[in-house]
Amino acid sequence: MAEVVPAAATKTPGMGKALVQALWFPAFFVVGFMVFYLVPFHAPAPHHVPVAVVGQQAAGSLSTALEQRAPGAFDITAVGSEQAARQAVLDRDVVGAYDPGTHTLFVAKVNGAPLLPVLQATFASQNPTVVDLASGAPGDSTGTGLFYLVMVCNLVGYIGVMMLLQATAIQGKRKLLTLAGFGAATSIVVFATGLALDVIPFDLWLLPVLFLLTQATSWVTFGLEPLVRQYIPGVAMGLFVLMSIPSSGGAIPKEMVPGFFRALHPIMPLGQTIDAARGILYFDGKGVVGPLLGLFAWFLLGVGLLVFAGWRNRKTADAEAEDLDAELSKLDPQPGHHEARVLMGEVRDRNGWPVTDGTVTVTDHAGKQLGITRIKDNGTYTFSLTDVSPQYVTVIVISPRYRAAADRVAVGHQVTSSLDFVLDAPSTVGHRQPRTDVSGEGAAAAGSASIFPID
């Protein structure tokens, strides 16, 4: 019978290591939000706000006065007429324009509501008439409604990947199709909700932009997972929450956050989407091409990461196949077809008690299921290998009360192959113990590879 290792003898991580493994993500969350949210948002102030002023002389004197009063707060450019000032705002070259001849201040609220009081205070001594050239939809009184709609599409991309990584029944291309389908559904729901609440005007060109954002974030996250493994929640949150949201210009205009976040704005996908959406909805498509190219570049990055992961997996699989072929060539010749070949083993828990409920699934070297059998009442299983060619197969044990486990074993070169399992509760890691009562060919088949758990 198999020798059961006492639970006390099982190697478990120390308390310190266990705490680090359990708390690294919450700690990352706390520090990240303090640095990436509190720092840029606690005291927003203007930084290099682009403003047009009618008249070269007026622009020069105003630039000098503002630089003395608030160094680096404004970038003043001169335009030749009031019409040119209005057009500079509509072309998104500036966020505000002032005509000293008529004392008119042209603004666009959709660029960020917090900019309005800043511009009004700057020209307050002139008592200007404020003209809003792009005030946004009637239902978006705060000017942040578009930001929250777009943010949903930004977050759902990487959250969807986090959930799909746990869905072991969905594999390969089906996961990508699921991400595409869910991204399309999310985009439609977001668009319809924005229209229903009158947060955005109707423009169908916004739909493909929202969908592209969902795919850019999800494909990049999915492509990064094989590289960073268990750290993917932190990497994804760092990219698409901590770096993207503060730099997006959605809640706080990009001109009112520190330089690091202003530099991130044209790079991160959320800021690119907000810029593209504003251009589509309020500025007749002005300034849309650059952000769309940026979003598409993120999507291509995700595709590239997935292609690289597939190439690396194939390379690893080829190397493992060569190793398996070398090991199989050392085994005894295949027995005659008249001999009934079987795979058998015992399934016990950590206390040595037989596991009496569950299934044993056997797949071939390519992952194709060869068959499934139930664990017997005495904790044993038997699987016929009569029609199975010599190869390494994967044996998967699933029981409702224990953590599932799997291992590989060489079969087909002997009458009896054996593989025993010791199952753990979900909080611990499974470990296989080789049988000690197998002799001859059976012992050769038992192997020495360690078990790997299935989450």
Q: What is the CATH number of the domain that holds 339?
A: 2.60.40.10
Q: Would you place residue 245 in the very low, low, confident or very high pLDDT band (cuts 50, 70, 90)? A: very high
Closest CA to 132 of 144, 145, 119, 121: 119
Q: Does 318 fall in a domain? A: no
Kindly give the interhelix angle for 206-228 and 145-164, rounded to the nearest 10 degrees. Answer: 40
Domain boundary pick from 132, 160, 186: 132
Distances (CA, A) of 434 to 362, 411, 417, 431, 448: 18, 15, 12, 10, 7
Q: Are 53 and 37 in the same domain?
A: no
What CA–CA distance (Å, rounded) separates 313 from 367?
14
Per-residue model confidence (pLDDT) at position 439: 38
Per-residue model confidence (pLDDT) at position 234: 93
Q: Say whether pLDDT at 237 is over 90.
A: yes
Q: Are 262 and 283 in the same domain?
A: yes
Q: Are 292 and 348 in the same domain?
A: no
Query: Count of residues for the chain?
Result: 455
Q: What is the mean pLDDT of residues 233-244?
A: 94
Q: What is the mean pLDDT of residues 372-378?
A: 92
R_g (Cα) of the chain, nearest Å: 32
Q: Are 125 and 202 in the same domain?
A: no
Q: Say whether pLDDT at 340 is over 90.
A: no
Domain boundary pick from 259, 279, 312: 312
What is the separation of C-alpha 306 from the centre of its chain, rounded to a whole number of angstroms? Answer: 13
Q: Are 442 and 360 in the same domain?
A: yes
What CA–CA distance (Å, rounded) separates 210 from 204?
10
Distances (CA, A) of 433 to 6, 244, 405, 409, 441: 12, 48, 12, 13, 18
| Residues in CB range of 237: below 8 A, 6 or more apart | 28, 29, 32, 158
Q: Say whether pLDDT at 443 is over 80.
A: no
Share of the chain above pLDDT 70, in %: 86
Q: Are 13 and 151 in the same domain?
A: no
**219: part of which helix (H) or strand (E)?**
helix 206-228
Give per-residue pLDDT as tens, 43-97. 999 999 999 999 999 999 999 999 999 999 999 999 999 999 999 999 999 999 9
Q: Say whether pLDDT at 110 is over 80.
A: yes
Q: Does 321 fall in a domain? A: no
Per-residue model confidence (pLDDT) at position 448: 35
Q: Does 328 fall in a domain? A: no
Q: Does 114 fall in a domain? A: yes
Give the burial string for 94-114 (b: 16+ CB within 10 Å, else e): bbbbbbbeeebbbbbbbbbbb
Record the tokens describing residue 288, joined without a space.
């849309």
pTM over 0.85, yes/no: no
Give per-residue pLDDT as tens, 253-296. 999 999 999 999 999 999 999 999 999 999 999 999 999 999 99
Share of the chain above pLDDT 90, in %: 63
Q: Are 186 and 292 in the same domain?
A: yes
Per-residue model confidence (pLDDT) at position 452: 44
Q: Does 28 fall in a domain? A: yes
Query: How many separate domains does the chain show?
Result: 3
Highest mean pLDDT of the ranges 298-302, 323-327, 388-392, 448-452: 298-302
Per-residue model confidence (pLDDT) at position 124: 87
Domain boundary pick from 92, 110, 132: 132
Q: Does 326 fall in a domain? A: no
Q: Which residue has the higher pLDDT, 277 or 351?
A: 277
Q: Are 186 and 126 in the same domain?
A: no
CB neighbour class for 316 (10 Å; exposed up to 12, middle 13-18, buried from 19): exposed
Range of the domain at 125: 49-132
Q: Would you place residue 325 in the very low, low, confident or very high pLDDT band (cuts 50, 70, 90)? A: low
CB neighbour class for 352 (10 Å; exposed up to 12, middle 13-18, buried from 19): middle
Q: Does 341 fall in a domain? A: yes
What CA–CA distance (Å, rounded) separates 171 from 214?
20
Q: Are 299 and 169 in the same domain?
A: yes
Q: Would you place residue 239 in the very low, low, confident or very high pLDDT band (cuts 50, 70, 90)? A: very high
* Residue 429 backbone phi and psi in degrees, to 5: -100, 135
Give per-residue pLDDT as tens, 133-191. 998 899 998 889 999 999 999 999 889 998 988 887 787 788 899 999 999 999 999 99
Record the tokens describing residue 308, joined without a space.
């690289």
Q: Are 3 and 81 in the same domain?
A: no
Per-residue model confidence (pLDDT) at position 326: 67
Q: Does 327 fall in a domain? A: no
Q: Are 422 and 353 in the same domain?
A: yes
Highest mean pLDDT of the ranges 113-127, 183-197, 314-328, 419-433: 183-197
Q: Would you place residue 455 in the very low, low, confident or very high pLDDT band (cuts 50, 70, 90)? A: very low
Q: Would you place residue 335 in the very low, low, confident or very high pLDDT band (cuts 50, 70, 90)? A: very low
Q: Are 277 and 361 in the same domain?
A: no
